[in-house]
Amino acid sequence: MPPPKKLKEGRIFQTVFYTNTDKKSPYRFKAKRVVDQDERAPKVILCDDPRIQPGELCKVRVKTVTKPRQKARGYIEVEFLGQVAFKIDASFYVDPVLEKKLQALLDAGMNILLDGPQGSGKTVLSEKLAQALGMEYVYFNCSSVYEPTDFLATFQVKESEHHNVVTEWVSTDVLRALEAAHANPGRRYLVFLDEFNRCREIARNGIMPALDATRRMYNPRTGSTIAIPDNVLWIAAINNGAQFTGTTTVDPAQLDRFAPVKMRYPPEKEEIRILAERYPNVPQAQIRRIVKAANAIRTDENLRVDLSVRASEEVCLLLSHPNFAEYDGDPLPDLLKTSFCARFLGDWDQPATDAGLVWQCISRALEL
Ligand SMILES: Nc1ncnc2c1ncn2[C@@H]1O[C@H](COP(=O)(O)OP(=O)(O)OP(=O)(O)O)[C@@H](O)[C@H]1O
Ligand SMILES: [Mg+2]
């Protein structure tokens, strides 16, 4: 067998970490194998990156190789580059084909636009994607953007130490992430632009050149443009539809800069599984009824409304509370009147209102 290849500084390889049982060590994780070469590493591999998931195959780069000295053993310190197997943890449901598509798009450096109704998992999915890809996650809510420059910095008027009025540009998390990405080319950053269609269209134009081949943005702090390095990826989320007030249309030129991904509520079976995992003390039969009612509302041809997963979670949360453990009779109808019907206009006992129609739909589905 050929001797093991030297792990020199800068070499990238795959390995699997385990928790380091040496409590005195400053490194939380250790590994022994160079998996892509199927060989044992000449020295122990150490890393302290909190994104490491023990037992999962990941990609690393050699930072330093420390030789054995006196009684101290040698070791290889590595930098964590990301997980190899792209896997979103089971606490979140994502359609298997969509999961593959998302990975392929992000691998290719494409921007993604998540479009879906309220509570369909857009925000949580973006976080899970960053986690699965070993990327730093940067959350930015576009509803606070008023001027095109607000994406990178906001102009603030403050009182100085000597009680004078002073003005200054304050960097946003996006600008800080871009600067960090320039300073740390080995790290990858996923910027999530939440509520992308809740800022003025004219303000949104400020970020357009960052999303196309120009990959530059005007930085008001320096008065010049800042390049968007390759280690920065963008995901935006919108609620598209006439029922959403406070939103503005994203014009075709803006939309064209993204790969669009439609989000849907999880299938009934998956929503039951997720809720059962999150609320183990709620009887499964009740969870099945909650999700059945939720889906009856979502799919009703005449109602044509959406119902967030937050609503079914809310009912589970209430049912798991000790107050409802010894409820006289079945608490579900009362909880659905508040957690489901109250999300719509009108009241559950007013049959001509949306809330009333939702209640009728629930009653039919659960045979109340
Ligand atoms: N596919 C899913 N798997 C697991 N949980 C989900 C899924 N979809 C939604 N949820 C749950 O629903 C809740 C709302 O999700 P999230 O905030 O990501 O929705 P959203 O689409 O961003 O909503 P909004 O448009 O209102 O911002 C979270 O608690 C999330 O865990
Ligand atoms: Mg959201």
Note whether 175 and 246 are same-domain residues.
yes
Given a contact cutoff of 8 angstroms between Cβ atoms, the answer to whether 267 and 344 are in contact is no
Note whether 141 and 170 are same-domain residues.
yes
CA of 125, nearest ligand number: 1
Note whether 188 and 320 are same-domain residues.
no
Note whether 258 and 123 are same-domain residues.
yes
Which two tokens mark 173?
Answer: 């998390």
234-283 pLDDT per residue, tens: 999 998 755 656 666 777 777 888 999 999 999 999 999 999 999 999 99
Ligand 1 atom 14 nearest Cα: 119
The CA distance from 74 to 65, in Å, is 8
Range of the domain at 308: 268-366
- Cβ neighbour number for residue 358 with a 10 Å cutoff: 27
184-219 pLDDT per residue, tens: 876 789 999 999 988 888 899 899 999 988 999 999
Distance 310 CA to ligand 1 centre (A): 7
Note whether 195 and 306 are same-domain residues.
no
**Single residue among 262, 283, 298 that ends a domain in this structure:** 262
Q: What amino acid is encoded at 296 in this protein?
A: A
The CA distance from 222 to 125, in Å, is 34
In a domain, 101, yes or no: yes
Distance 194 CA to ligand 2 centre (A): 6
Is the entire prediction scored with pTM above 0.85? Answer: no
Measured from the Cα of 116, ligand 1's closest atom is 21
H helices of 2-85, where?
none
Q: For the packed helices 284-299 and 268-278, what is the interaxial angle rounded to 10 degrees?
A: 140
Nearest to 263 by CA among 91, 84, 125, 57: 125
Q: Which of 76-80, 121-125, 247-251, 317-321 has the lowest mean pLDDT?
A: 247-251
